[in-house]
Structure 1
Amino acid sequence: MPMEPPTATHQKKKVRVVKGKPIFYEPPEVADAREKLLSHLSKHVPTRKLAGPVELIVKWCFPRGRHKDGEWRTTKPDTDNLNKLLKDCMTKLGYWTDDAQAVSEVCQKFWAEVPGIFIHVRELTPGDCWNCYWYDREVNVCCNSGSEYRADFRDPEDTCGCWTGDGK
């Protein structure tokens, strides 16, 4: 979605005490960020809610200013706070039933010549196992513990039908 991404997040919510009870509220900058996201996301709502586990990949591209195009943004807001508001908006619009369905997330933030939020979302199926590649590098075990292809690559007799790496 081409746009200047909002920087206000859920972390900026406020609390006030009324008659001894805490009342949480969104300050205007968070409400504005929510409305901006809802407005842009509403143009891309799927025809049916995504069911089951979901993979979510989000790239936040902020106006680069004095930074190089594609340079990592290492300043606030934090990626988890950015994605929280985004996922809440996607839930409200009906992308899925509950943002807890997002079981796999990649969130990156950059300085960019073309600002925007680029989102890839897809339903995961029981056979999805990321081709085992990344997980083998970490602990030598197939990434999908529920898969019929569960494999421990320390055992030369054990194999995985999804394995595409070199096993090193």
Structure 2
Amino acid sequence: MKIVIPIKPTAQMRTEVGVIKFRDGSTRGNAHKKKQQVSNENTIKAFLAQYKPAKPLSGALLLGLRVYLPLLKNKPKWFTGTAKEFRALALKGVVRPISKPDMDNLTKQIKDCMTQCEIWTDDSRVVGYLPHFGKYYSEEPRWEIEVVPFHPELYQEVR
């Protein structure tokens, strides 16, 4: 299963925690998702809904995730070449994003949305990742997702 979501990738945000005060003076804690997080998830889930299988995927799965972030307007300070060189190398995938959002939070965002859309029964089904998993620069920000069944015979024993 291959999925392309043509929107700027966003990471899973931290939950907001607040205090609810009652009329009797008592209080209790409350945790909830930020409005922006809910909006981001809803947009992703709207695209994922097109790919929902008749039955959620089960068994061991491998996840491929390529996150294409917007190309920077200026070259980063750490890059020693020219802006033109940075742009060319970034578009080839030689220079990769090392800034936020981090890959763990991007992955969490997609895995949670795929679970909620019932693409798979649970994200615990993901036992590994496909090659080229990572963050890249692009003039067209997007998510590229691939889910394939895990076939042990394709892998050499690692010990």
Q: Is TM (by shorter chain) over 0.5? A: yes
What is the aligned partner in structure 2 of residue 97 from structure 1? 121
What is the aligned partner in structure 1 of residue 146 from structure 2? 120
How many pairs align?
132
Structure 1 unaligned regions, length at least 5: 133-141, 144-151, 153-168
Partner residue of 2:137 out of 80, 95, 111: 111
Deviation (angstroms), 1:83: 1.1
Partner residue of 1:4 out of 1, 7, 11: 7
Structure 2 unaligned regions, length at least 5: 21-25, 74-86
Contact 1:8 / 1:33 at 8 angstroms: preserved in 2? no
In 1, the alpha carbon distance for the partners of 2:127 and 2:155 equals: 17
Deviation (angstroms), 1:2: 4.4
Partner residue of 1:61 out of 57, 65, 68: 68
- Secondary structure in 2 matching 1:73: coil
What is the aligned partner in structure 2 of residue 149 from structure 1? none
In 1, the alpha carbon distance for the partners of 2:107 and 2:145 equals: 11
- Secondary structure in 2 matching 1:120: strand
What is the aligned partner in structure 2 of residue 84 from structure 1? 108
Contact 2:9 / 2:143 at 8 angstroms: preserved in 1? no
Could you state the TM-score of these two structures normalised by the residue count of structure 2? 0.73
In 2, the alpha carbon distance for the partners of 1:8 and 1:81 equals: 5
Partner residue of 2:15 out of 10, 13, 16: 13
Per-residue deviation, residues 129-162 of structure 1 (Å, max 9, x unmatched): 5532xxxxxxxxx22xxxxxxxx7xxxxxxxxxx
% identity of equivalent residues: 26
Could you state the TM-score of these two structures normalised by the residue count of structure 1? 0.70
Paired residue type of 1:22: G
Partner residue of 1:50 out of 57, 75, 90: 57
In 2, the alpha carbon distance for the partners of 1:83 and 1:8 equals: 8
